[in-house]
Structure 1
C-alpha cells in the first residue's frame, strides 16, 4: 500500500486502528498522525466513490453530501473543544471555537477525501518547514465552508470551479510564498526559524492563564 492510500484501511475497517476517535457507517474521525497544531483531527468520509474525488470538486452539486459531511465536521469540532477543556480547566468553549479552522488542501498529499479540523496555533514539532506551514496558513488551505454547493448564476462562475484562494491552479505558488504569522500577520519572509520562535511566544500568550501546564503539552495529547 502506498502512502497516498494510507487512509483506505481506516475507511475499510476503523475498528481498533490507532488514533480513531469516532466512526460510523458514514465517516471516521481520527487524530492526524503528524499533527501540525495543538489539536489536529481529520474527518474522513466513507462514501465508496466520493472518497476518491478531489476535495475541490467532491461537494459540487451535492448539497446532501456536504450537509452530511458537515454533521461530522461539527462533531469533530466538539471533540477538539472537549479535549482542550479537559486540558485547560479555566477555559470555556468560546475560548477555543473561534480558534479552530476547518478545510482541505487544494493539492492533498493523500488520495482519500479528508477534511482537516485543527486549532490555528500551528504549534507542533511536526511543523518542520515552510511548505508545512504554508499548506495551512495560506489560501492553499481552502475553508470547508467555501465548498458548500451554491446555485450558479450567469454573472458569477467563481464557485462553479471552486476557484477559492486560487484553487489548485496556484497551489505551488502559495506553498512558496513568504511566511506570515497566523496570529498577527508579521512578515518573516523565508525565515522559518524566526517564525517558529515567534509562534511559540504567540502560543504561550494565547494559552497561558487557562489553567494548563504549557511545558507539558504535546499535540493531540
Structure 2
C-alpha cells in the first residue's frame, strides 16, 4: 500500500476554502473521494482516502460511496455498511506501525457533508492540528467510537448519542492531554507536552 504523502511538512492546512470548481467547502469530501492522489483503497461500497488536512501523522477517512449525509441519516438499513466501514478501517490500521495507537470513530456533528469514519493515530503530530476545536473534536466525547455508533443502530435503528448544543460546548472545553489529562494553556504547549509522552512510549 502506498503511504507516500503521510509526511505533512509544508502542507497548506486551510480547510474552509471554497472548492476550485464551484460548490462550498463543506462538500469537499465528495471531490476528495475521486482524487487519485488521496485514495488509498476502494471497493464497491466504500472509499478510503488520506485526510487532506490530517490532524495526526496517520489520518484516514473511510467513506461510503452511497450518498449518506451524516450520522443523523443512518438507519437499520445502514448497519452492514457501518460494519464494513469499521472492518476496513481496522484492516488499514493493522498494517501501519504507530507507537501511539489508533482510534476509529465519527465526529458527533461534522462540518463536512458525507458520512466519514476517521482512523487516526494518537500522536497528533501534524501542522494541520492548530486550534482548540481541532483538538477537542478528536480527544473528547465529541469523537464517537465506531462501536458505539454500530451499537446504537443495532439497538434503536438510529444514532442516539448526538446532541448538537452539547457538542458545540464540548468543542470549547479547556485543552487537556489525551494521555494524562493535564491541562495546558495553548496548542504549542500541548504539542510540546505530547512529544514528551511519545518519547516515553518510544523508549519504553
TM over 0.5: yes
SS state of the match for residue 41, structure 1? Answer: strand
What CA deviation, in whole Å up to 9, does each residue of 1:155-197 have, x standing for no partner?
xxxx95522xx64331111110111101111122x43232121
What's the counterpart of residue 164 of structure 2?
168
Report if aligned partners of 2:39, 2:47 keep a CA contact under 8 Å in 1: yes
For the pair shown, which has the larger CA radius of gyration, 1 or 2? 1
The answer for the alignment partner of 1:197 in structure 2 is: 192
How far apart in 1 are the matches of 2:169 and 2:189?
21
The gaps in structure 2 that reach 5 residues or longer are: 1-22
Stretches (4+) displaced over 4 A = none
Aligned residues: 180
**Where do 1:1-221 residues align within 5 Å?**
1-11=23-33, 13=34, 17-47=36-66, 49-50=67-68, 52=69, 54-60=70-76, 62-79=78-95, 81=96, 84=97, 99-148=101-150, 149-152=153-156, 161-163=159-161, 167-188=163-184, 190-208=185-203
For CA contacts below 8 A with separation 6 or more, give which structure has more relative contact order.
1
Q: Could you give the per-residue CA deviations for residues 116-159 of structure 1, whole angstroms, max 9, x where no partner exists?
A: 0011122211111111111111111111111012334xxxxxx9
Q: TM-score, normalised by structure 2?
A: 0.78
Aligned-residue CA RMSD (Å): 2.3
Q: Distance in 1 between matches of 2:72 and 2:107?
A: 9
Q: In the TM superposition, what is the alpha-carbon distance from 1:37 to its structure 2 partner? A: 1.1
TM value normalised by structure 1: 0.72
